[in-house]
Amino acid sequence: MLHDKRILLGITGSIAAYKSALLARELQRRGAEVRVVMSKAATEFITPLTLATLTDHRVYSDFTESVDQGTWTNHVELGLWADAFLIAPATAQTLSSMVQGAGDSFLLAVHLSSRCPVVVAPAMDLDMFTHPATQQNLKTLSERGVGIIEPESGPLASGLEGKGRMAEPEHIADWMDSWFAASAPLRGKKVLITAGPTHEPIDAVRFIGNRSSGKMGYALADAFIRLGAEVTLVSGPVQLSAPEGVHDVVKVQTAQEMFDAAVQRFPSTDIAVAAAAVADARPAAPSNKKLHKDELPEAIQLESTQDILAAWGHSKAAHQTV
């Protein structure tokens, strides 16, 4: 379920930060796109260059890109970009700041402005983890909807043994995989979407069409994919790239081609969405060759096209939604 997911990885100042490079790689291996936000303290444990090289993206750690040039980094855009904000490792100080709603660092400002779900993987010494204040902070964050990936037991940086180690990268990736799967309500559902215009030929080069861009249908396809559905897109001629993760794109030109493709695939569909701007009529006798301007008819006889929605409605089963 991490395929094509956009994960913003937040790294704070813990010795466990060295594991974040392995975590970024593991998330990428499972198909996620990863970008990194670091606290100032985190950069003392692992360099931004390492994370930038691994993720092939700039690493963010400050509000300003260049003080001399007066450029700044938009923390709001990062929060809007991500499907999930994963803070790993999350120190005791970070958890406390999140509870208090602090925004005095770039990472914390991203947390406050994120509309996506937030997940933390705590990492700290045993006594810090078991301290009532830390446990209360974790309880508060959980009540606010923040996902908590429990730390693991083992040797700690202090020399003690016990709970407090950040979960291993593979375990964090497993947790995220399961979490995304649980939050994908349309997983296993098949969705059929029509999009874009149709072009009805007058002759070999001329046609009757409309200005539909197809953006609505393609945006719907992307939304259904993010909800876990298997999406088939029947698309008229558009200047758009297929959404990442789409199961199949069937390219058509005419209303009849779109009708045939949509009706043929409808029986195996759970949800069908008619977002295309299908021509209501077409030339009754199109020419197979290019007509000279002197051959163009003064009037074009039209005939009705077949109605996709009507055909779907006529054959719709009880389990299907149109």
- Report which of 10, 21, 9 is spatially closest to residue 46, judged by C-alpha positions: 21
DSSP state of 116: S
Selected catalytic residue, list 74, 137, 210, 288: 210
| HSE toward the beta carbon, residue 167, CA cutoff 13 A | 20
- The pair of structure tokens assigned to 231 is 């999406």
Say if residues 129 and 163 touch (Cβ distance below 8 Å): yes
Cis before 155 (ω within 30): no
DSSP state of 266: G
**Residue 210 known to be catalytic:** yes
- Report which of 200, 188, 177, 215 is spatially closest to residue 32, judged by C-alpha positions: 177
Which residue's entry shows tokens 């030929």? 201
Residue 9 CA to residue 109 CA, distance in Å, equals 14
* The amino acid at 205: V
Residue 28 CA to residue 9 CA, distance in Å, equals 12
Residue 19 CA to residue 213 CA, distance in Å, equals 45
Say if residues 200 and 306 touch (Cβ distance below 8 Å): no
Gyration radius from the chain CA atoms:
27
First to last CA, the chain: 26
Q: How far is CA 139 from CA 96, 112, 135, in A?
A: 11, 18, 6
Residue 225 CA to residue 4 CA, distance in Å, equals 10
- Report which of 22, 26, 55, 322 is spatially closest to residue 173, judged by C-alpha positions: 26
Q: Give me the active site residues, please.
A: 210
